[in-house]
Amino acid sequence: MKPVIDQDLCLGDGICEDICPEVFELREDGLAHVIDARPGEGLWVRVEKASVECPTDAIYLEEYGPEEEAAA
Ligand code: SF4
């Protein structure tokens, strides 16, 4: 799965980073960024939790496209 943040919706409260700092990072621009676009399976539960807990539903999870699958 590929976590994506809609930064137009991000409040910068850092909840996602608190839940899964391996994947989400709050930066000086006041927005959360994805720092691992291909998190290992061991992180998926927390990535999903971050998606659920985000107050504005800014985090969504995409399937990899065929080209990304091929690059895996
Ligand atoms: S939990 Fe959502 S609103 Fe909060 S910093 Fe992360 S992406 Fe932004």
Domain CATH for 20:
3.30.70.20
CA of 70 to the centre of ligand 1 (A): 30
Give the residue numbers spanning the domain of 37: 2-71
CB of 15 shorter than 6 A to ligand 1: yes
User: Which residue has a Cα nearest atom 8 of ligand 1?
Assistant: 10
**Per-residue pLDDT at 70 exceeds 80:** no
Residue range 12-67, pLDDT digits in tens: 999 999 999 999 999 999 999 999 999 999 999 999 999 999 999 999 999 888 87
The radius of gyration of the chain's CA atoms, rounded to the nearest angstrom, is 12
| Amino acid 72: pLDDT | 63
| Amino acid 26: pLDDT | 98
| Amino acid 52: pLDDT | 98
Domain total for the chain? 1
Q: pTM of the entire structure?
A: 0.92
